Amino acid sequence: MLVNRRTALKQVLVVSAGLALLPSCLRKPSPASISLKNIAVDAEGENMLAALADTLIPATATPGAKDVKAHLFALTMVDDCMKKEDQQKFLTGMKAFSDLCQKKNGHSFEKSNPAERATLLKELEAADASKDDAAAFYRTMKDLTIYGYTTSEYYLTKVQVYELVPGRFHGSVPVKPASKRTA
């Protein structure tokens, strides 16, 4: 009876450990930090977009594109404002971009060093975006990142201070007397 009880306890312990480890083995990719309705991007894709945004506009004395979350702005614009076929082209290009980086550098874009990133982006700048999905994705992401950065709260309040039209009203301005004109 004692042997059977020990065996049963061991089996329960092994099954419990297996059930505790099973979720980590069957782990699904973690979702993006923002909710998207029309496109599916996971955390890995979001991190790649953040690295791309940071490469395009890096942080210096001022925050970079990643710091102002321009990559999340780009994702939101793609999700909300693009047609279905353009969204699909963006996702296809994103996969092609990731695969190209893996092929050229042997690792993901996030793990690439600045020189590898610059080389890859120079190649994509020179590529024809109408024929290359990765180049089309890069151009779209570049445009949206720059637009997101230059319309961010930080940029419009600290770098390029924006004043609404018609501007400030100066109600009381001293007027100098007109000088005599010589004919």
The secondary structure of 108-142 as a DSSP string is: -TTTS-HHHHHHHHHHHHHS-TTT-HHHHHHHHHH
Q: Using CA atoms, how far apart are residues 1 and 138, in angstroms rounded to an integer? A: 69
Cα 84-69-119 angle, rounded to 5 deg: 80
pLDDT computed for residue 27 by the predictor: 54
pLDDT computed for residue 12 by the predictor: 76
pTM above 0.75, yes or no: no
Q: How many C-beta neighbours within 10 Å does residue 74 have?
A: 25
Per residue of the chain (183 residues), give pLDDT as tens: 555 778 877 777 777 766 666 666 555 556 666 777 888 888 888 999 999 999 999 999 999 999 999 999 999 999 999 999 999 999 999 999 999 999 998 999 999 999 999 999 999 999 888 889 999 999 999 999 999 999 999 998 888 887 777 777 888 888 888 877 665
pLDDT computed for residue 2 by the predictor: 52
pLDDT computed for residue 32 by the predictor: 60
Q: Using CA atoms, how far apart are residues 150 and 114, in angstroms rounded to an integer? A: 23
Given a contact cutoff of 8 angstroms between Cβ atoms, the answer to whether 59 and 46 are in contact is no
CA within 13 Å, CB half, 181? 2
